[in-house]
Amino acid sequence: MTTETGIDAAARSIRLLTVDALEASTTGHPGMPMGMADAGAATFGEILNHDPTNPDWLNRDRFVLSAGHGAMLLYSLLHLSGYGLPLEELKRFRRIGSLTPGHPEYGHTRGVEITTGPLGAGFAAAMGM
């Protein structure tokens, strides 16, 4: 038997948060958050050089979610990493006025580095960051 790591627990949490948020909103795209939960948890937990207490830190690494329709992956990561995105906002996913719109919006949600939506646009923009 293997012991669950922090990354495994975070990935499981991402999947559960995604299912709950999409069920509550009755809309959304589950594929990316469910399939990329392990990669996202490992990236935020062990690879990305970032500081949730100072999200505008000049020397931070940037996480660009090019496929914006997978926004629940990013929102779950921000919530679990301490960016101050409360669980109540995850429950309001895709609702008008929430901090968790259907596609990430720069300047709207703390920790979101770029507004994304059209597939491929985030990759091109990230090359210039």
pLDDT surpassing 70 at residue 3: no
Nearest to 81 by CA among 107, 28, 44: 44
Range of the domain at 57: 6-127
Confidence of residue 2 (pLDDT cuts 50, 70, 90): low
- Asked if residue 115 is part of any domain, the answer here is yes
pTM exceeding the 0.75 threshold for the entire prediction: yes
pLDDT surpassing 60 at residue 69: yes
pLDDT surpassing 90 at residue 11: yes
Looking up residue 116, the CATH number of its domain turns out to be: 3.40.50.970
- Asked if residue 42 is part of any domain, the answer here is yes
Burial degree of 106 (CB within 10 A; 0-12, 13-18, 19+) = exposed
- Asked if residue 97 is part of any domain, the answer here is yes
Q: Structural domain tally of the chain?
A: 1
- Asked if residue 1 is part of any domain, the answer here is no
